[in-house]
Amino acid sequence: MINEENGKIITYTGKEYYEKFKLPKLIEKLFRVYEQKNFVDRFLIIKFIFNELNFNKNEFVVYDGLGHEINNGIRQDELEFFKRVLKN
């Protein structure tokens, strides 16, 4: 995908474009649908269901202070998770 930002032509992969432009809008709409309720309760319910169904290779992590962005800590956690899962 090609986009113009600050007078410069920027080329994004499909994933980069989706994450930068489409995904935030979808998340915002989802947030509005649930009347801006806290998703921690929903997260805990999903975690309980996964545990009950013995989906034992899943990990749920809440990163305090982060909105919808992905930081280097999350990227590192994802990398380590997949290394462990694929190793076993």
Q: Where are the domains of the chain?
A: 1-37, 38-88
Instruction: Give the pLDDT of residue 57.
Output: 74
pLDDT score of 80 more than 70? yes
Name which residue leads in pLDDT, 79 or 8.
Answer: 79
Using DSSP's 3-state secondary structure scheme, residue 66 falls into coil
Distance (Å, whole) CA 87 – CA 84: 5
List, for residues 6-64, the tens digit of each pLDDT value.
Answer: 788 878 777 777 677 777 777 776 666 565 566 667 777 777 877 777 777 777 788 88
At 72, is the pLDDT very low, low, confident or very high (cuts 50, 70, 90)?
A: very high
The helix (run of H) or strand (run of E) holding residue 65 is: none
